A and B are shown apart, each in its own frame.
Chain A
């Protein structure tokens, strides 16, 4: 908009300048016409004076005036070339002037030939022909025309100037207005930004509060689960004791009953009844006794299994409740201790354990012991039968984490079981070794609590590698995040 206004005002100013130029031009034309008339009159009066006095002064005057007439006329012709009305006038004027100049020349000739009478007659003739007055009237018409133009052009110029001035005024007004508007807009956006910042800060605070709240909730939920698991496993044990106790009582009772049956059916011919434990029964009775014992045996083994599971849960929850204490640990020494306690099993499995240099870390000693002893124990336990074992423990550090790898050349784990082996009470592969399916679940829980991660890479029959990533320095802030 401002551009339009500036362009407009530039245009108007130019127009005003043009108009003024035209006004000046008109004045110039008028001036020249007047000068022409003056020169003609000078020539005329010079001629007359010369005619009367024969003085050379008048002659010179006359000649000068005559010489001046043609250039002035030319200039007027040039100046008024743009105006058709004036062109006509000019033609008439030049014609008249030519006639007059011719007359002047004739007069001068007559004077020079010393025929003053003829010259005077010529003058009279000229006066009668009224050439000079014709020139005067044409010039007057021209002047009038020019004056008309002058008026018109002055009005035009005035209007242009007024327009230019008002345009400039409007432009300035607009500039001021736009400035005000932009100030207001800037203010408004600044205020909006401040508001947004404030809201952002609020949101941040809220977010922190929300995160804290959620963390607290999670912690509470976790504690709740721990308590729940503890109480449930604990309370499950109580009825289990009864079941086991009375099953055993029943077993004894069963023994007594069958002994009695035996006693009744087999009245020993010679002397007192057989000592207990050696009951002689008839075939159907023996069958019954066998079934009875079998049933009780299944009940008892199931109870024993259930008890082991409950104990496992109890231990896990207890482990989950234990406070960790970060201490500096010589990892190699820790693993060597574990290996020495497992030496017997290793010898039995013909396994060799190689310990590569390991990075030392700051962590909970007991937890680490459990992690490594479980993994090394597993490595020795699940070797391929008949193949000498080769267990390797390696370590390295990376970006504040210590990475430990425990690899073996054992039976390996089917990739589809890689997730499963970390689940509680789940096992994979041939079930030829005793175990509850707790070790790896426990290890992973510990590693997580220590702020680390663990993974396995393995294929059937080619051995397994368990990788544990632990922070080199485990500190209280980790614990706070965890607890």
Chain B
């Protein structure tokens, strides 16, 4: 019954994506990572062609989300995920450069599970991601609504 958790990474900067992936792997997480560089593709994958989210029914997902995307705001994606009955149980980790308190507050209000500001200092960055890996290993990703 338990299904391996897929990590959906929505990150427009390929460098960031690579660094995140590397550090996740270094922390010993071996789950599948599906990455998207823009919001539209990610939405298509998450919600399917019909936009209902039915395609992800029963899948265990963990979403890594950047807020600054070229085609849409990450906040919109977060909002739609948390409003969708198949996806709302999936943990969403917002991983972005913005450290504005207003923005952080907004994301938590919308249902984001963890908000991480990407630090320029690489040690801190790597640390944050590794802790996230730790978080992955502890977190019980609930199966999506059936």
Which residues from chain A sit less than 8 Å from chain B, CB to CB? 234-235, 237-242, 244-249, 303-304, 307, 314, 318
Contacts and interface: CB of A to CB of B under 8 A. Distances in A.
Given A241-B125, A244-B122, 15 more contacts: A234-B68, A237-B118, A238-B13, A240-B120, A241-B15, A241-B19, A241-B97, A242-B19, A244-B121, A244-B125, A245-B122, A247-B122, A304-B121, A307-B120, A307-B121
A234 B98 contact: yes
Interface in B23-55: none
Among B97, B98, B125, B126, chain A packs the most CB atoms within 10 A around the CB of B97
Interface string B110-146: 0000000011111101100000000000000000000
A248 B16 contact: no
A238 B122 contact: no
Contacts of B71: none
B98 A238 contact: no
Nearest to A308: B120
A146 B93 CA distance: 142
Interface of B: 13, 15-16, 19, 22, 68, 97-100, 118-123, 125-126
A98 to B, nearest CB: 142
Contacts of B125: 241, 244-245
B120 A304 contact: yes
Contacts of A244: 120-122, 125
B15 A246 contact: yes
B19 A318 contact: no
A315 to B, nearest CB: 10
B4 to A, nearest CB: 27
16 contacts: A237-B118, A237-B120, A238-B16, A238-B68, A239-B15, A241-B15, A241-B19, A241-B120, A244-B120, A244-B122, A245-B19, A245-B125, A247-B122, A249-B19, A249-B22, A304-B120
Contacts, number: 51
A193 B145 CA distance: 84
A292 B97 CA distance: 29
A234 B19 CA distance: 19
A307 B125 CA distance: 14
A237 to B, nearest CB: 5
A238 B121 contact: no
Interface centre among B118, B120, B123, B125 (most CB of A within 10 A): B120
For the complex of A and B, 6 pairs with smallest distance between CB atoms: A242-B15, A248-B122, A307-B120, A245-B19, A237-B97, A244-B122
Contacts of A314: 99
Given A238-B68, A242-B19, A303 B98 contact: no
B100 A245 contact: no
Contacts of A318: 100
Contacts of B15: 239, 241-242, 245-246
Contacts of B97: 234, 237-238, 241
Contacts of A237: 97, 118, 120
Nearest to B119: A241
B98 A246 contact: no
Contacts of A303: 120
A234 B67 CA distance: 12
Output the residue of B19, B125, B126 with the most chain A CB within 10 A. Answer: B19
Nearest to B68: A238
Nearest to B19: A245
A247 B15 CA distance: 12
A235 B118 CA distance: 12
B61 to A, nearest CB: 25
A244 B121 CA distance: 7
A246 B22 CA distance: 11
B37 to A, nearest CB: 13
A355 B102 CA distance: 37
B117 to A, nearest CB: 10
B19 A246 contact: yes
A205 to B, nearest CB: 40
